[in-house]
Amino acid sequence: MSRHASNPVLRPSLLGLNLEELTNLAVEAGQPSYRGQQLFDAVYRQRVETLDSISTLPAQYRTQLAEEGWRVGVPTVERKFVSNDGTVRYLIELADGETVETVWMPEGDGGERGDGSDAGEETERPSSGSAQNQEAWRRATICVSSQVGCAVNCKFCFTALLGVKRNLEAGEIVGQVVAVLRDQGVQPPMQRVNLVFMGMGEPFLNYDNFMKAVRLLAAGLSIPESRMTVSTAGIVPRIYDFGQEALRPKLAISLNGSNDALRGEVMPLNRKWNLEALMKAAREFPLRARERLTFEYVLLEGVNDSPEQAREVAELVRGVRVKVNLIALNPGAELPFHTPAEEQVVAFQKILVAAGIPTFVRRPRGRDIFAACGQLKRTVEIAPAP
Ligand code: SAH
C-alpha cells in the first residue's frame, strides 16, 4: 500500500483507507468482504481509538490485524491552547513525531459560515446565555492543516518561515478532525461542523491526499462537502483539476495583491502563476448554482491597503461571481509588515462594496494564542513562549 512505501517507519494505519481499500485488506486476510464496511464504520463513524474496540470484528481478526502491525492511527493531541475568545489551538502529533496545528473555532472564523449563507453577520457579536451556545454550535469551524510546514513562502505568513517538511497523508488530514471532534465531544451530522482547509500548508501542493481526505470526511464522518472550504495560494493547474471534481469543497483563493508587481512581492509564487493566469482560472471555474468564489485579501499597512488598490481589486474580479474576505494582518515581530488601522480596513471594504462586491472583514480568531491565520506554530518553533 502506498503509505508504507512513502513512509516505511510508520505502522500502517486504518485511518486514511477508503472502503475499497479496507475491503481489500479484509479479503486478503481471508475475511468476508463485508468486514470492509465494518472496518469503515468503526474507524470513521464510531471513531474507535483501538483495534480492540472494534466489537463487530471477531477477536481473532482483531488480533491478526494487530500482529500485522495495523493500528487505527488517530493522531494524538500533544498540547492545547485555549483563547479568551473560545478558539482552541491544538498541537497534533503524528506517528513519526512531526506536529501540525488544528484550530477549533466555536463561532466560525468570522468570514466563512461554510453553509453558503455567509453574508451579513460577520461583525455580529454573540449574545450571552445559553442561546449563545446553541448558536455557537451551528457555526463551529475546524481549520485543518494539509502539510507539515509550507513551501509557498508568502512574506506575511509565519508558516512560511518553517519551510515544508512533508505532505500529510489523507489519514493525517482526517485524523486532525477526528482528534478535535473527540476532544470537543462533537458528533456530526447531529451537530453541525464546518471545515476550512486553511491551516498549515498549501492543500493544492498535496492535492491527491487532500482530495482523498475530503471524500473520507464526507462519506465517513458525514460532513457534507458543501460545509468545507479549501484555500489555495493560487496553484493554477490544480484549480482547473479541482473544478472537475464531482465532490468538492468550496474554493477560496488568496489574492493579497491587486497587481502583479505587488502580489509578486508578497507572494513570490505569483512569478510562476501571475494574475492573468490566476484570474483566467477563476473566470473559468465551474461554480454551482448560488456558489461564489472567495478571494482572501490580507491587508498590510502601507503595502496593499490603499483606496487605489481597492479599486484595482474591484477591477480584477469584475465578471466573476465572488465575495471578498478581508483579513487585517495578524502581526508578529518576525514579519516585515504591520496591521492597518480599523478605518483603513473599513475604507477598503467600502470601495469594494460600492463596486457591487460582497466584502467581509474577518474577525481575527485566537490571536492571543497565535491561532489566527498565518500564525500557526509560531509559539512552538519560531518564537517559543517561555
Ligand atoms: N496555503 C493556503 C491556505 C493556508 S493560509 C493559502 O495560501 O490560501 C490561509 C489564509 O491565511 C490565506 O488567505 C493567507 O493569505 C492568510 N494569512 C497568512 N498569513 C497571515 C497573517 N499573518 N495574517 C492574516 N492572514 C494571513
CA separation for the pair 54, 43 (Å, rounded): 8
**Alpha helices of 268-381 — where are they, by DSSP H?**
275-284, 307-317, 342-354
Distance of CA 369 to the CA centre of its chain: 18
Counting ligand 1 atoms within 8 A of each CB, the residue from 167, 204, 263, 296 with the most, and so the one to mutate, is: 296
Instruction: Indicate which atom in ligand 1 lies nearest the CA of residue 337.
Output: 22
Instruction: Provide the whole-model pTM.
Output: 0.90
Cis bond upstream, residue 189 (ω within 30): yes
- What does DSSP assign to residue 51? G
Q: What is the pLDDT along the chain (386 residues), one digit of tens a residue?
A: 444 444 445 679 999 999 999 999 999 999 999 999 999 999 999 999 999 999 999 999 999 999 999 999 999 999 999 998 889 999 999 999 999 999 999 976 544 433 333 433 333 333 333 444 444 455 799 999 999 999 999 999 999 988 999 999 999 999 999 999 999 999 998 899 999 999 999 999 999 999 999 999 999 999 999 999 999 999 999 999 999 999 999 999 999 999 999 999 999 999 999 999 999 999 999 999 999 999 999 999 999 999 999 999 999 999 999 999 999 999 888 899 999 999 999 999 999 999 999 999 998 888 777 777 767 665 555 555 44
Counting ligand 1 atoms within 8 A of each CB, the residue from 144, 250, 298 with the most, and so the one to mutate, is: 298
Does residue 168 sit in helix, strand or coil? coil
Residues with Cβ within 6 A of ligand 1? 152, 156-157, 198, 202, 231-233, 254, 256, 296, 298, 327, 329-330, 373-374
Distance between start and end Cα atoms, the chain: 43
Distance in Å, CA 233 to ligand 1 centroid? 8
CB neighbour class for 37 (10 Å; exposed up to 12, middle 13-18, buried from 19): middle
**Alpha helices of the chain — where are they, by DSSP H?**
2-6, 19-28, 34-40, 59-67, 130-139, 170-184, 207-221, 236-243, 260-266, 275-284, 307-317, 342-354
Q: Residue written as cell 510546514?
A: 149
Q: Residue written as cell 490544480?
A: 238
